[in-house]
Amino acid sequence: MNPSFQPLAERIRPHTLEEIAGQEHLLSKGKPLRNLIEGGVLSSFIMWGPPGTGKTTIAKMLAGRFNAEFHQINAVSSGVKDIREIIEKAKDNLTRNVKTILFIDEIHRFSKSQQDALLGAVENGTVVLIGATTENPSFEVNPALRSRTRIFKLNELGLDDVKKVIL
């Protein structure tokens, strides 16, 4: 797509961990998410925080960094059928030593049964689940799924962070 036709968010989206603003508590050297990424072993996690804090950007960046097949769905418009189709593709990918990242935006909007459909594939590593939510997962994501993932809280961007992004 011609860059001039892309939404502003896509045109200024960071391409490296160092370019992500406002999440130093997770992405600076020696911090939890950075350690997970640099350790080379990608495991499932859920990020929560206000809109515009980098959740989608981090997920897309990880897919590229780990040469993984990336599937993005939104919990508002997806269901168990979509999850099962991606899990089947992920099983096929495993036979070719290709990781599959399933990025679910607004994961808190999935019902308990929709979240339960993820459990086996997350537990056995068929997919690496990266969930994104604006709601506290302690209240909105079922305990079984939370127990199979790490939880990372993203901070709201301050004025200096926003300036760094747009200037």
What are the tens digits of pLDDT across the range 87-123? Answer: 999 999 999 999 999 999 999 999 999 999 999 999 9
On whether the CB atoms of residues 111 and 80 are closer than 8 A, the answer is no
DSSP helix/strand/coil, 160: helix
**Count of structural domains within the chain:** 1
Q: Which amino acid is at 93?
A: N
Stated pTM of the model: 0.89
On whether the CB atoms of residues 108 and 114 are closer than 8 A, the answer is no
In this prediction, residue 3 carries a pLDDT of 66
Token readout for 92 is 């096929």
Cα four-point dihedral sign 56, 59, 62, 66 = negative
- For the chain, which residues score pLDDT lower than 70? 1, 3, 165, 167
CATH of the domain at 74: 3.40.50.300
The whole-angstrom separation of Cα 153 and Cα 20 is 14
The whole-angstrom separation of Cα 146 and Cα 116 is 11
CA angle 124, 125, 129 (to 5 degrees): 120
Q: Which domain holds residue 16?
A: 3-166
- The predicted-structure confidence for 115-124, as pLDDT tens digits, reads as follows 999 999 999 9
Phi-psi region of 58 (alpha: psi -120 to 50; beta: other; left: phi over 0): alpha
Please state whether beta strands 150-153 and 69-74 pair in parallel, antiparallel, or not at all (unpaired). Answer: unpaired
On whether the CB atoms of residues 73 and 82 are closer than 8 A, the answer is yes
